[in-house]
Amino acid sequence: MFDRLFRGDRSSLAQQREELQRRIRLVDAVLESTRSLNKQLGQLDREKMDQYLTSLNEIESRLIASEKWIDVPLKTQDYSQLNLDVTSELPRFNFFDMSSPIFTRPRFLPGSKINGAQIDHAVISDGCILNHAHIKRSIVGIRSLVGAGSELNRCILLGCDYYESAESIEANEKAGRPRIGVGSNCRIENAIIDKNARIGNNVTISPAGKPENADHPLYFIRDGVIIIPKNGIVPHGTVI
């Protein structure tokens, strides 16, 4: 979806389709091999294999659906204002209405740790560690880390897929790369930070004074909103 919105040229879409088709062929091959093996197993092993086959079928269905989405034209989007209505005290869409409940996939993550952070009209997901930061009118995704002294205003953090180990943090710091998450003493406003992004310490990110749309090695701007792509790296001290 990111590629379609921000790298929507024909060559990238063709590459995406080719990669999806390759994955579908791979899953088909594994399914065929597994079904053949399943006939040789005992009852208990066959039950376990059936569960594995079910998961493979689900993966194949998702890949086929993703390929179909490539051909669906995107509607014209207006990103001039980030839709952060959900952070309002009485949002137009009520997630807490028991007559029409909203369910999310259970991840069994730990509760978020708020280590002295000031939070004003924000939605905080599970498993976050928010140190002495100031977070206002923002949505903070799962496993997000925000360092002390940072200020986030009108931001969407999509979070992280995993927690970084101490060894990984040390190795990345030696290589000049910040740890996953938002570092210390950052100033970020009107921005979308995609998953697993690494925002260093003393970083400033703001669309103020910039064109409405722009492409840069570190970020994109669409309708006045800055987007840091998935797995993006913003070095310490960077001003955007």
Task: State yes or no: pLDDT of 82 exceeds 60.
Answer: no
DSSP E strand boundaries for 20-133: 113-114, 118-120, 123-124, 129-130
Residue spans per domain, the chain: 2-70, 85-99+106-234
Q: Which residue has the tokens 């001003």?
A: 239
Full-model pTM: 0.64
85-99+106-234, superfamily in CATH?
Hexapeptide repeat proteins (2.160.10.10)
Q: pLDDT tens for residues 207-216?
A: 999 998 999 9
Instruction: Give the pLDDT confidence of 16-69 residue by residue, as tens digits.
Output: 777 777 887 887 777 777 777 777 777 777 777 777 777 777 777 777 777 776
Is pLDDT above 80 for 167?
A: yes
Q: How far is CA 59 from CA 30, 54, 227, in A?
A: 12, 9, 29
d(CA 30, CA 168): 33
Using the predicted structure, report yes or no on whether residue 11 has a pLDDT greater than 70.
Answer: no
H helix and E strand count, the chain:
4, 16
Q: Is 78 helix (H, G, I), strand (E, B) or coil?
A: coil
pLDDT per residue over 91-129, tens digit each?
A: 777 777 777 777 776 778 888 999 999 999 999 999 999
